[in-house]
Structure 1
């Protein structure tokens, strides 16, 4: 009686695994994230925070999302060709800024030598605000489970990018306010005679 039950259980589990693999093979391997935020700061402030990897620790959410993550900065640390890599309990990756203009930065990232990401951050000044948009397109290449990893990656990145943009908003606005206060203080301070 027990042998028949175990044979049925093994057949059922095998069938479920096969169905899960077949579904996974039909799922798309590509994913996309597109998030925006308005920041009350100068476009130069926002652009500097995004295009200088040595400043990412001030707003990047990855340290909170994954406390085990450790970043290493390459040369140069800012602008086109800037490079950073990271290692954590979840794996490793690297990111490079591929272009930088007045209102746009593009980057490439590679995770575990198999997960490819292309991204773009735009900064559009509207009146005294900056509309910041982050677009990420990724592709997973893990055999049999790429579709599932794609769904998971889109979910994680969507939430993490939103958190990062909120952090960027806070840091940029505080930085601009401090600059304005410092400028006003220097105008008000008495001149030396």
Structure 2
């Protein structure tokens, strides 16, 4: 019986060590992005992204917790706009600040506090395409070791990507009805 436990213990140590070694080989940063073509000109799309208050019309995170506590800064559109949130376990707690804003690009500093601390960037690229607009929504940042370990079991691109796809579909609907 003791020998069986020793074998099981040794196998468990080898498996755990293998996971930890594998995690160490993962990249030190991540990037998740999705793209949508919107049948509206950039001047209809840009305000929906640039004005943080307009996000309630399309952001998938706004819908995950309708009771979420939102705090807007003195500036809510363009460079310097700030927003903080505190919600359920699906949206957590954090803040964001628009650090760059122009008709073709909006760059956002994202600081998550819960359910885990992370400091990333959000990026929207707004490109005219004929009579429409191509919008790329991306998030990227460092991938600390614990994220690499979690990433061996969960695919961050799939998780965030689904939210981005939903958000971009809602952004498309909002821009096309204006």
> TM-score, normalising length from structure 2?
0.83
Please give the per-residue CA displacement for 1:94-148, whole angstroms capped at 9, x wherever unaligned.
211111112221111122374222232122223321121223222233xx42214
Hey, what does 2:96 align to over in structure 1? 95
Going from structure 1 to structure 2, the CA distance change for 1:148 and 1:64 (only over 3 Å counts) comes to: farther
Going from structure 1 to structure 2, the CA distance change for 1:38 and 1:27 (only over 3 Å counts) comes to: same
**Tell me, what secondary structure is at the counterpart of 1:145?**
helix
Deviation at 1:149, TM superposition (A): 4.1
Structure 1 residue runs of 5 or longer lacking an equivalent are 177-193
- The aligned length equals 172
Hey, what does 1:105 align to over in structure 2? 106
**Among 150, 165, 169, which residue is 1:166 paired with?**
169
Deviation at 1:86, TM superposition (A): 2.3
Q: Partners of 2:94 and 2:156 in 1: how far apart?
A: 14
**Tell me, what secondary structure is at the counterpart of 2:138?**
strand
With 64-73 and 118-127 compared, the bigger mean Cα shift is at 64-73
Hey, what does 2:123 align to over in structure 1? 120
User: In the alignment, does 2:10 pair up with 1:17?
Assistant: no
Going from structure 1 to structure 2, the CA distance change for 1:64 and 1:12 (only over 3 Å counts) comes to: farther
- Residue pairs, 1:154-193, within 5 angstroms: 154-174=157-177, 176=178
**Tell me, what secondary structure is at the counterpart of 2:174?**
helix
**Tell me, what secondary structure is at the counterpart of 2:124?**
strand
Q: Partners of 1:152 and 1:137 in 2: how far apart?
A: 14
Deviation at 1:59, TM superposition (A): 0.4
Q: Which runs of 4+ in 1 moved over 6 A?
A: none
Contact 1:96–1:107 (Cα < 8 Å) also in 2: yes
Structure 2 residue runs of 5 or longer lacking an equivalent are none
- Higher helix residue share: 1
User: In the alignment, does 2:40 pair up with 1:37?
Assistant: no
Contact 1:21–1:145 (Cα < 8 Å) also in 2: no
User: In the alignment, does 2:64 pair up with 1:61?
Assistant: no
Contact 1:140–1:149 (Cα < 8 Å) also in 2: no
